[in-house]
């Protein structure tokens, strides 16, 4: 995968720096990062911040052609990533409030209630009943940056928790990875969906067209997954992803069937209808319920993780629905070659 094109001054400086040998942070980049807390109003939807974070995290997933592998653990790179993460975390937390009357024992029921109820119903109905095949393909493209790595960021949570929460997390993750059967991994089912829709399933191919509001879905998981202090957050993120997912995927599957999509193309969605009916129970009760009981000092991190996930998901839904309502594309326009 090649480095994507920059989307602002930070990514311009960052990507140029990454194309060379690992070394000290160039001073223009330091200045830009120093100014970033004032320069961005919401890092969650800032194209320059999100593409820069996606590349920083990408070093720990697949890396990039022509980028020295040693950058992954280069302290100067981690310092840059940390500066980006500081504003990202600030803006995530600004959107989230743990209810004052919530107590750890009520967390599983709270998650089921809140995460199940906040599916953007109008958006789902539109996908089910009205979306064109072009709009459906747009959605598949934008979600690909997250779905082709489904489960991976949550796997980083496994060594960071113990006991019942770990067992439940592994039970879910085993299913995400198709029970260990090649070809059944959920990420592979997504690749099949893309191929069936005549899209390219290679990771990162569509990166230039994918807006910050979709990158943030993946960056949020990577942020939680790569920081032990946010181990509760990665569990909350997984719970928010699983709860209500059966209904979401049924809408997508029925929408694709309406558009003539083959059974094979709908496999990804149909698999999630059944799998996530299991996962949502395991995630809320066995995983998060056990974590808040066994790690009482960190119980609110689970809730923050789930609520932050819902907030970026709402951001994503708006980034798709608003341009469509205006008769436009939800994808970023490609620069003329």
Partner 1 sequence: MSDDQPPVEITVYENGPVIVRGTYKLQNSERNDIDPGRETIALCRCGLSALKPFCDGNHALRGAARSAL
Binding site for partner 1 (CB under 8 A): 109, 112, 116, 171, 174-175, 179, 244-247, 250, 273-278, 280-282, 285
Helices 75-94, 299-325: crossing angle, 10 deg rounding: 80
* Shorter beta-carbon distance to partner 1: residue 17 or 268: 268
Q: Residue holding tokens 């970033």?
A: 36
Taking a C-beta distance cutoff of 8 angstroms, is the pair 47, 7 a contact? yes
Taking a C-beta distance cutoff of 8 angstroms, is the pair 334, 208 a contact? yes
Residue 204 vs residues 13, 123, 147, 219, 270: alpha-carbon distances, Å: 21, 25, 11, 14, 25
* Shorter beta-carbon distance to partner 1: residue 108 or 225: 108
Q: How far is the CB of 139 from partner 1 (least distance, A)?
A: 20
* Shorter beta-carbon distance to partner 1: residue 76 or 173: 173
Q: How far is the CB of 107 from partner 1 (least distance, A)?
A: 13
* Shorter beta-carbon distance to partner 1: residue 72 or 171: 171
Taking a C-beta distance cutoff of 8 angstroms, is the pair 305, 224 a contact? yes
* Shorter beta-carbon distance to partner 1: residue 93 or 174: 174
* Shorter beta-carbon distance to partner 1: residue 179 or 260: 179
The one-character DSSP state at 179 is G
Taking a C-beta distance cutoff of 8 angstroms, is the pair 221, 146 a contact? yes
Q: How far is the CB of 116 from partner 1 (least distance, A)?
A: 5
* Shorter beta-carbon distance to partner 1: residue 76 or 118: 118
What whole-number distance in Å separates Cα of residue 314 and Cα of residue 334?
25
Q: How far is the CB of 245 from partner 1 (least distance, A)?
A: 7
* Shorter beta-carbon distance to partner 1: residue 141 or 273: 273
What whole-number distance in Å separates Cα of residue 220 and Cα of residue 212?
12
Q: How far is the CB of 279 from partner 1 (least distance, A)?
A: 9
Q: How far is the CB of 277 from partner 1 (least distance, A)?
A: 4
Taking a C-beta distance cutoff of 8 angstroms, is the pair 248, 124 a contact? yes
Name which of 286, 291, 325 is nearest 305 in CA terms: 291
Q: How far is the CB of 193 from partner 1 (least distance, A)?
A: 18
Q: How far is the CB of 169 from partner 1 (least distance, A)?
A: 13
Q: Encode 21-52 in three state secondary structure.
A: CCCCCCHHHHHHHHHHHHHCCCHHHCHHHHHH
What whole-number distance in Å separates Cα of residue 191 and Cα of residue 170?
23
Name which of 146, 181, 183 is nearest 61 in CA terms: 146
């Amino acid at each position: 995968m090649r480095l994507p094109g920059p989307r602002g001054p930070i990514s311009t400086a960052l990507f140029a720096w990454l194309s060379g040998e690992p070394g000290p942070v160039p001073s223009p980049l330091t200045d830009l990062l120093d100014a970033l807390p004032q320069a961005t109003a919401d890092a969650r939807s800032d194209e320059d911040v999100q593409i820069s974070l996606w590349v920083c995290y990408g070093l720990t997933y697949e890396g990039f052609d022509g980028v020295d592998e040693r950058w992954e653990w280069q302290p100067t790179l981690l310092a840059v990533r940390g500066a980006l993460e500081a504003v990202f975390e600030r803006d995530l937390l600004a959107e989230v409030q743990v209810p004052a009357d919530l107590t750890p024992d009520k967390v599983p029921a709270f998650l089921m209630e809140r995460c199940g109820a906040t599916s953007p119903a109008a958006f789902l109905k539109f996908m089910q009943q009205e979306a064109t095949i072009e709009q459906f393909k747009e959605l598949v493209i934008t979600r690909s940056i997250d779905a082709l790595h489904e489960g991976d960021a949550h796997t980083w949570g496994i060594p960071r928790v113990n006991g019942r929460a770990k067992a439940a997390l592994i039970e879910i993750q085993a299913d995400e990875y198709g029970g260990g059967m090649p070809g059944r991994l959920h990420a592979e089912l997504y690749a099949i969906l893309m191929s069936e829709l005549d899209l390219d399933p290679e990771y990162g191919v569509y990166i230039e067209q994918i807006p910050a509001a979709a990158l943030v879905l993946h960056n949020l998981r990577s942020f939680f997954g790569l920081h032990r202090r946010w181990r509760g957050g990665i569990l909350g993120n997984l719970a928010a992803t699983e709860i209500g997912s059966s209904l979401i995927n049924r809408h997508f599957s029925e929408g694709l069937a309406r558009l003539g999509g083959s059974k094979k193309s709908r496999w990804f969605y149909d698999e999630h209808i059944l799998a996530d009916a299991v996962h949502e129970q395991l995630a809320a009760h066995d995983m998060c319920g056990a974590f808040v009981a066994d790690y009482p000092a960190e119980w609110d991190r689970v809730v923050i993780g789930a609520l932050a996930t819902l907030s970026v998901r709402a951001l994503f839904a708006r980034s798709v629905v608003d341009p469509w309502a205006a008769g436009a594309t939800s994808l970023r326009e490609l620069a003329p070659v």
